[in-house]
Amino acid sequence: MNNVARMKKTAKKFVIANWKMHGNLEQNQSLLTHYVNQLNSLKQTQVVVCVPYPYLSQVQSVLEHTDLAWGAQNLAKNLNGPFTGEVSAEMLKDFGCEYVILGHSERATAYCESDENIAQKFMMAKQHGITPILCVGETLIEREAGVMELKVGKQLDTIIDLYGVDVFNDAIVSYEPIWAIGTGLAASPLQAQAMHQFIFDKLTQSKEAQKNRVKILYGGSVNPQNALQLFKVENIDGGLVGKCSLSAPAFEDICQAAELSVG
């Protein structure tokens, strides 16, 4: 099944592992083997593993012929050319990547990625049949000032203004409050619900968009204790998981929570 076919199974939750810059060949092999043994028979949950570029070949060889999918954590906005250190969409396709995380706040902050840059990458992924996982979210200062919807709205509007709202059809957006990432302090279900409703309303205006509905995930300190409560919230279609994806038992519990939250 390809990624668009997967997305069309709208009831399915997504749990996406973001390994960030962690791992080595030996550790990855063990973690991926655990993932496959524990998660290959899930019925209601699509698991996606986003790894550093050098391990795409390894993840491809372990996960192909399983129900787990894989992806990368960034993508060049250009097709090819003199862009030292960049990796193109075609290159990701060579390693069977079906997903790519874009606009993660750790990149946006450390590498000064603009919303326009991220928008171009989003389009590049779509044009190559790679499902973009677009990260959006506000800082603590923005939340305390009550401008979180303005911030997230602007991140989405940059893409909508350039390419139209239907470009989000079959894509994934991950709401990741920056203050929740890696802090152990997740958004409350109420905070998440309000933002997910805002994103849902913004991105499902047309009939076409309702049919090919964008998936909206929550990311930021998801763990085995809070996953079920978060995944049961309306318009939360699963989670993007950093730290807990590096522990096979914790990640399994989170995926089981996704499974339980459906139906």
Which residues are marked as active site? 104, 176
Nearest residue (CB) to ligand PEP, 96 versus 224: 224
| Residue carrying the six token digits 């997910």 | 196
Instruction: Kindly state the smallest distance separating residue 246's Cβ from ligand PEP, in Å.
Output: 9
Q: Which of residues 9-48 bind ligand PEP (CB under 6 A)?
A: 18
Nearest residue (CB) to ligand PEP, 49 versus 165: 49
Whether the Cβ atoms of residue 156 and residue 199 lie closer than 8 Å to each other: yes
31, 47, 72, 222: residue in contact with ligand PEP (rule CB under 6 A): 222
Dist CA 202 CA 216 (whole Å): 12
Q: Which of residues 231-250 bind ligand PEP (CB under 6 A)?
A: 240-243
Nearest residue (CB) to ligand PEP, 74 versus 221: 221
Dist CA 115 CA 100 (whole Å): 16
CA Rg value for the chain: 17
Instruction: Kindly state the smallest distance separating residue 176's Cβ from ligand PEP, in Å.
Output: 6
Dist CA 202 CA 67 (whole Å): 31
| Residue carrying the six token digits 């350039």 | 162
* Window of 2-10, 81-89, 138-146, 217-225 that interacts with ligand PEP by CB under 6 A: 217-225
Nearest residue (CB) to ligand PEP, 7 versus 230: 230
**C-alpha closest to that of 88 among 36, 34, 52, 124:** 124
Whether the Cβ atoms of residue 228 and residue 219 lie closer than 8 Å to each other: no
* Window of 22-30, 50-58, 164-172, 213-221 that interacts with ligand PEP by CB under 6 A: 213-221
By CB under 6 A, is residue 73 in contact with ligand PEP?
A: no
Whether the Cβ atoms of residue 261 and residue 228 lie closer than 8 Å to each other: yes
Residues of this chain that interact with ligand PEP (CB under 6 A) are 18, 176, 181-182, 219-222, 240-243
